[in-house]
Amino acid sequence: MSSIEVGGGVAGLAVTLEELEDAAARLRTLADDLLEVVLSIGRLSADPALAAAGALAPAELLEVERVLASAAGPGGAAGSAARLLATGTVTDLAVRAYRRGEDVAGRLADEAATAVGAWAGTAVGSALGGIGPPVVGVGALAVPVVGAALATPVGAAIGEDVQEAVTGVGHSVGGEVDEVLFDQPWLVPAAADGLDGFVTGLGGGLPPLGAWLGWRSARAGVAYPPRTRKEALRVIVAAASGTALDESGRRVRVRAHGAPRHVPAPHSLGDLVAPDGPTSGRDRLRVTGIPGPDGRWRWIVDLPGTQSFDPRAGENPWDLTSDVLLSARGTSLTSRGAARALDDARARTGAPRSGPVMLTGHSQGGLTAAALAADPRFREDHDVTHVVTSGAPIGQVPVPEGVSVLSLEHEEDLVAGLDGAPNPDRADWVTIRRSLAEDLGADAGATDAHALGEYTETAGLVDASDHPSVRAWREGAAPFLGDPDRLLAPDAPEVVVIDYDIERVLE
């Protein structure tokens, strides 16, 4: 079994650029203080009272002057001040140079990705434009005719054969693409990073489409042409509004699935990730309440992943619409459903509202968890302290510092690369990466690397790891994991789980 790579956490970057800037400022302040000491020594050395005392004890005066000169000179305060000032200045210049270099490198990488995306979008747009209005018009007129023909018994039988054939071709092509993405995992994040260029190029290659995208974006108050991946997603949402990727006119309905049940407390990261673990509701949202010895309850909210790829917003909100809306806007009806479920679980158990909350999820569930942690309104009502994700594209989700994040990502997982950016390297964000190339073999696909079973194995490797960042994360997550005898008071109620059906319904 392949090993894991640990990034970020307490053993990530030794210091941040902000910490270096603060250290440089402190060094300059210390240098100023030492210069004040030098001036004070100089004033003392020139004090008339000292000279008068020297008339009575000239030898002692010379020794005092020697000591003062030594304390204030190059080997003393003055020298130390000069070295501190030089170190602070060099550190400050280095930080500025690194920032400029980092900004330039980042801009070059973004510009390259955008340029490639624009080229691809222009090519596609030009190809669509080359079809020509007559052909497009004939195709549009043919739609109702074909529809009427397929409504007949003979047409329906033919339609089923055609659909089966098309599906077979789609699976064949899709399988080949899946294998290519597994072998070349860099393609997905590169394409995601160039999405703004692709959308812009698409409109440039087909000007009528560009004008329409601009009009739809203006109506929705969205910038066009887009300059970032998120803006590109917002343009797509605006363009599809009323037809697909649209939750308007709908609300979320939350219903408990059965009565609260008692289960063992989770012991490990594997319990949080496994599809049959004590915190997993599988296709339902699960809230797990853990009463602590201090009288406060700990809450684990496990959010399910994508269950439908239909672009139309249906009754099941764990779908493609929520995926895109979470990436574009940072919220969806699933976010509201999670908040209501947590409130309901607290009310059912009679627990107070206060108490730390851990949000977990695979794929879309992890994206929803990170989006909730980044939502200031949700954090006002809930004390979010931890987020655990597997196979989720959350690198660009602005989870605030102070919330502990643990992300499991497989290098060949196409979903984890859809954010087009690496996860932040900071003390409270640990990223676990693992390559499955050797484990899954040459015929594997990128979707295989996204499987929850594979992430369960990765979680087991993390549980066995003694890496400093993993140890620190494990200690911080102790209120949610570990020995039940240590977590629970002797007379405390049992751990409670409640599963919830989250539905999208018409208002």
Q: What is the pLDDT of residues 183-231, one digit of tens each?
A: 888 888 888 889 999 999 999 999 999 999 999 999 999 999 999 999 9
How does residue 148 score in pLDDT terms, banded at 50, 70 and 90? Answer: very low
With helix as H, strand as E and coil as C, how does 202-271 read? Answer: HHHHCHHHHHHHHHHHHHHCCCCCCCCHHHHHHHHHHHHCCCCCCCCCEEEEEEECCCCEECCCCCCHHH
Neighbours of 205 (CB within 10 A): 22
Q: Is 329 exposed, middle or buried (0-12, 13-18, 19+ CB in 10 A)?
A: middle
Partners of 426 in the β-ladder: 429
CA angle 293, 298, 301 (to 5 degrees): 160
Tens digits of residue pLDDT in 471-499: 999 999 999 986 544 455 555 568 899 99
Is the CB of residue 387 less than 8 Å from the CB of residue 358? Answer: yes
**And the tokens for 148?**
């009427």
CB under 8 Å to 180, separation ≥6 — which residues? 187
Quote the pLDDT of residue 143.
39
Is the CB of residue 396 less than 8 Å from the CB of residue 420? Answer: yes
- Which of 57-71, 102-116, 218-232, 297-311 comes out lowest in average pLDDT? 102-116
pLDDT score of 1 more than 70: yes
Quote the pLDDT of residue 138.
41
**And the tokens for 506?**
């018409």
What interhelical angle do 195-205 and 207-220 show, nearest 10?
A: 120
Q: What is the largest CA-CA distance in the chain?
A: 127
Higher pLDDT, 429 or 54: 429
Percent of residues, the chain, with pLDDT higher than 70? 85
Quote the pLDDT of residue 150.
41
Query: How far from 495 is each of 291, 317, 475, CA to CA, in Å?
Result: 7, 28, 20
DSSP state of 175: H
- Which of 96-105, 180-189, 235-244, 444-453 comes out lowest in average pLDDT? 96-105
Partners of 289 in the β-ladder: 299, 496
Quote the pLDDT of residue 168.
47
Is the CB of residue 247 less than 8 Å from the CB of residue 332? Answer: yes
How does residue 104 score in pLDDT terms, banded at 50, 70 and 90? Answer: low
Quote the pLDDT of residue 493.
64
In one-letter notation, the amino acid at residue 310 is: D
Neighbours of 493 (CB within 10 A): 15
Of 374, 367, 283, 359, give the one whose Cα is nearest residue 324: 367
What is the separation of C-alpha 292 from the centre of its chain, rounded to a whole number of angstroms? 29
Quote the pLDDT of residue 469.
95
- What are the DSSP calls for 410-464, one per residue? ETT-TTTTTT-SPPP-BTTEEEEEE--HHHH-TT--HHHHT-HHHHHHHHHHHHT
Is the CB of residue 419 less than 8 Å from the CB of residue 396? Answer: yes
pLDDT score of 162 more than 50: no
Distance, CA of 24 to CA of 22 (rounded, Å): 5
How does residue 17 score in pLDDT terms, banded at 50, 70 and 90? Answer: low
CB under 8 Å to 409, separation ≥6 — which residues? 390, 391, 416, 423, 431, 432, 433, 434
Tens digits of residue pLDDT in 249-281: 999 999 999 999 988 889 999 999 999 999 999
Distance, CA of 470 to CA of 9 (rounded, Å): 8
Quote the pLDDT of residue 167.
43
Is the CB of residue 382 less than 8 Å from the CB of residue 339? Answer: yes
Mean pLDDT across the chain: 84
Quote the pLDDT of residue 430.
97
Rounded to the nearest 5°, which phi and psi values hold at 360? -130, 160
Rounded to the nearest 5°, which phi and psi values hold at 197? -65, -40
- Which of 141-145, 175-179, 346-350, 364-368 comes out lowest in average pLDDT? 141-145
Is the CB of residue 496 less than 8 Å from the CB of residue 260? Answer: yes
Quote the pLDDT of residue 121.
81
pLDDT score of 164 more than 60: no
Distance, CA of 21 to CA of 451 (rounded, Å): 43
Quote the pLDDT of residue 141.
42
In one-letter notation, the amino acid at residue 117 is: G
- Which of 66-70, 180-184, 226-230, 416-420 comes out lowest in average pLDDT? 66-70
Higher pLDDT, 131 or 264: 264
Ranges 111-120, 349-358, 424-433, most confident = 424-433
Half-sphere exposure in the Cβ direction for 315 (13 Å, CA): 1
Higher pLDDT, 95 or 392: 392
